[in-house]
Every structure is written in C-alpha cells, then in structure tokens.
A and B are shown apart, each in its own frame.
Chain A
C-alpha cells in the first residue's frame, strides 16, 4: 500500500481510535464477559465493606465520610480487572501484533482502548453508585447531577492511566498484580481529588464550591492523556 498512513490527518486519527473502541465495545456487547466479571467483583467488594463496618459505625461516621472511600476503592479494584482484560484478550490471540501493524498512529490505538475502557467503567458505575446508595443509605436523587459530573470526570483519568499501565503489565506477561502496584500509587493525586469531590457532593456542596478540585482533575486528565499518547508507541513496539 502506498500513500501516507490513514491517521496522518487529525480526522484519520480519530477515526482510527473510534474503530478500535468500537471493536472492543462490540466484543464486550456480544459476551458481557468483562462487564459481568467487573460488576460481580464490585458487588463482592461492596458487600465486604458492609461487613467491615457494621451498621452502627456507618451511622455514627456518616455516609458522606465513608462512601467516597468505599466507592473509589471499588472503582479502582474493578477497573484493574477490566483494564487488564482489555489487553490480555489481544495478547492471548496475538491480535495485538495485527493492531500494531495497522498503518495508524499508535496513539490512536491508545485512545480507542481508553474510550472502550472508559465506556465500560461508566456503565459499571451506573450500576454501582445506586447500589452503594442503597447499601449505605444516602439520598442519591438529590445529588444525582453533581455526583455524575464528579464520578464521570475522575474516571477519565483513571481509564487513561489504567490503559497505559495495563499495556505495560500485559507486555511484561503480568496481570492484575502488577497493574495494581502501578496504578494505585500512580493515580494518587486523582484519587485524592475524587474522594474530596465525592465527599463534597454528599455534603450537598455545589459544583462551584468544588471547582478548585474539578480544575485539578481536569488538568490531571489532560496531563495523563498527553503523556500516554506520546509514550504508548514505546510500550507497544517489539
């Protein structure tokens, strides 16, 4: 084939990422394999948390102090399972080689994978957040909008770093254990912001009161995206 690669232009880049994302999401749509294992795992984590703190403790500490930590630990753990699988499937079938051989920028592969991972975690959160509201007994309806913004925004950065680190872990032939070791300390600033914001939302603070943290999270999202786009090709190369 001659001519410049399809993704040398910006529309080509986005089209390539969209194709990768659509492929991953279609695979997920047909099996629900990833989403099912993540959802079941999250449920187990939530139940374990309810054993860890009994009802009296929950009532005394208050949901707004307890729930942010519980939620984000659950998202991180189930995310780790999901992110690892997104590369392990390709690794096992050697289809990652085919993906890398495609005449596209490797950054487009990263973006596509991230979009698919992000969509999966967002779907999972649609289930987990209401479930958490039921288990820990807080009023979700009155804070539905700010909660969606806060959770949605912070998950972007988590998916970006998770995708980059999952690629590293898979390339090294390691799974969730290495990803957890890399992702949890690596995304600390994002976690701090996420927990602070979620706590604020549960205390019925407006998004304006939290704007400071929301800017931090947006900045981190952009930073992680930029670094990952620039370094992803070195992770994939053979």
Chain B
C-alpha cells in the first residue's frame, strides 16, 4: 500500500516535470507570437493557469478545513496546510507575472482594479492563515483557528469573481460568453497544455506537502513521547 502510494507520487511528479518542459516548448516555440502585444503575451500561458490553480487550491482549502473541523481527522489538516501554502505560492506567481505583463500592456505595474485588488487581498488572507498556524503554541488549536480562517478565505473567492462585474475593471477577459475562438488554434493548444502541466505540478506538490506535514506531525509526537518517558 505504502509503496504503491509513493510510486504513484513519483509518477505524478515525473509527469509534472515532463509536462512543464513540454509547456515551455509549446509556449515559446510552437505558439505564434501575438501580433499586438508581442512576446510579452506569452506570460498569459503561465499567468492564467497559475491563477486557476490558486483558486482551485482555495476550494481544496475550504473542503479540507470543513472536513477537519467536522471529523477531526489529522489527514484533512495536512491537506489544509498544503492547500494554504500552495494557494499562497500560486497567488504569488500570479501577482508577480501580472505586473510584468501589465507594464508594457497597460503602461503601469499595478492598478487598483477589481480582480487585481481582490487577488492581493486573497494573498493577504492566506498569509494570515499561515501566520495563525505559526502563532499557535498548541498544534490542534492552531489547526482549528486556521481551518476557521480558511473557510472565511474561501468565501472571498466567489465574491472576488462577482466583484469583476460590479466594479467593471480593465482586466482582460479572454474567455467568457460571447467570445468565440478568442485564441488562435496553436495558442489554444499551448494554453491547454500549460493548464494540464500546472495542474499536474499542483497535484504533485499537494501530495508531497501533505506527506511532509504528516511526517512532521509524526516526528513531533515521537519527540513528545521521548520527552515524557
């Protein structure tokens, strides 16, 4: 059982690495350069999947936080730790790649537009979730507080999407109703591959980090037992 699990982990990790290289090839050599924006448009292939995965991770955080509070099974807390850190990581990627694209496209590094603002706010809340875990002197108390915060953080996400309509920002909407064939076929292929690659990378990291959290917990309880005896 254990070997199968670690085998499948290596398979996912290997697939993620291979897919990332394929994604880099597709992005830079296969997909055509966009006529208006030029090479800077290539950021799109990593920016958008990272944003999607960051939001996916927030939903994983919501699910695992609720499951942890109700069942108190530690495994859900391990997943919640992993989901929080990964959501923060991919949110950081989004917030770094975004301005690099925005400077040539919009002429500014940053603007207080709806989707940008709410992504930054999400980043802040996720950082606060990790901070709460760090402050807790008792492991379980920290896990519970972080779970409560995780649920509130996840509620921020749908509000985030609605916010775009309410404030009507200048963020480009490539996909959406009434937009037929927004991308050239080669661009679409490259984008879909990037999407699969980043998603696979996310899953591999989620497994790895959850396993690490479980190992940390085991080591801590062994240490506690040693101290007690």
Q: Using CB atoms, name the residue of chain A closest to B114.
A: A192
B152 within 8 A of A: yes
The answer to whether B166 has its CB under 8 Å from any CB of chain A is yes
Whether a CB of chain A sits under 8 angstroms from the CB of B121 is: yes
Q: Per-residue CB proximity of B117-156 to A under 8 Å, as 1/0?
A: 1100100110010011001110001101101110111011
Q: Does A235 contact B (CB under 8 A)?
A: yes
By secondary structure, the B interface counts as helix
Q: Are B137 and A173 touching (Cβ within 8 A)?
A: yes
Q: How far is it, in angstroms, between the C-alpha of A223 and the C-alpha of B163 when the chains are bound?
A: 16
Decide if A168 touches B132 in the complex (CB within 8 Å): yes
Chain B residues with CB under 8 A of A212: 166
Question: B69 in the interface, Cβ–Cβ < 8 Å?
Answer: yes
Per a CB cutoff under 8 Å, which of A185, A188, A231 touches B148?
A231
Task: Give the docked Cα–Cα distance between A227 and B152 (Å).
Answer: 8
Q: Chain A interface: which size bin?
A: 20 to 34
Give the complex CA separation of A231 and B147 in angstroms.
9
Is B149's CB under 8 angstroms from A182's CB?
A: yes
Q: Which residue of B lies closest to A235 (CB)?
A: B148
- Among residues of A, the one whose C-beta sits closest to the C-beta of B163 is A189
> Is A188 within 8 A of B118, CB to CB?
yes
The answer to whether residues A185 and B69 also contact, given A235-B144, A235-B145 and a CB cut-off of 8 A, is: no
**Which of A189, A223, A235 is the most central at the interface, judged by chain B CB atoms within 10 Å of its CB?**
A189
Q: Please tell me if the beta carbons of B151 and A231 are within 8 angstroms of each other in the complex.
A: yes
Contact (Cβ within 8 A) B128 A181: yes
Q: Provide the bound-state CA to CA distance between A173 and B128, in Å.
A: 15
Report whether A234 and B131 are in contact in the complex, using a CB–CB cutoff of 8 Å: no
Does A171 count as interface, using CB distance less than 8 angstroms?
A: yes
In the bound complex, how far is the Cα of B101 from the Cα of A132, in angstroms? 42
B212 beta carbon closer than 8 Å to chain A: no
Given contacts A185-B124, A189-B159, A223-B155, are A172 and B144 in contact (CB under 8 A)?
Answer: no
> Nearest 6 A-B pairs (CB), nearest first?
A185-B124, A231-B148, A172-B135, A188-B121, A234-B144, A168-B145
Give 13 A-B contacts (CB < 8 Å), ordered by A residue.
A164-B148, A171-B141, A173-B137, A182-B125, A186-B125, A189-B163, A220-B159, A223-B155, A227-B152, A231-B69, A234-B69, A234-B147, A234-B148
Instruction: Give B residues with C-beta under 8 Å from A.
Output: 69, 117-118, 121, 124-125, 128, 131-132, 135-137, 141-142, 144-145, 147-149, 151-153, 155-156, 159, 163, 166-167
Q: A168-B149, A188-B117, A235-B144 are in contact. List 7 more A-B contacts (CB 8 A).
A: A173-B135, A182-B132, A186-B156, A188-B121, A212-B166, A220-B159, A223-B155
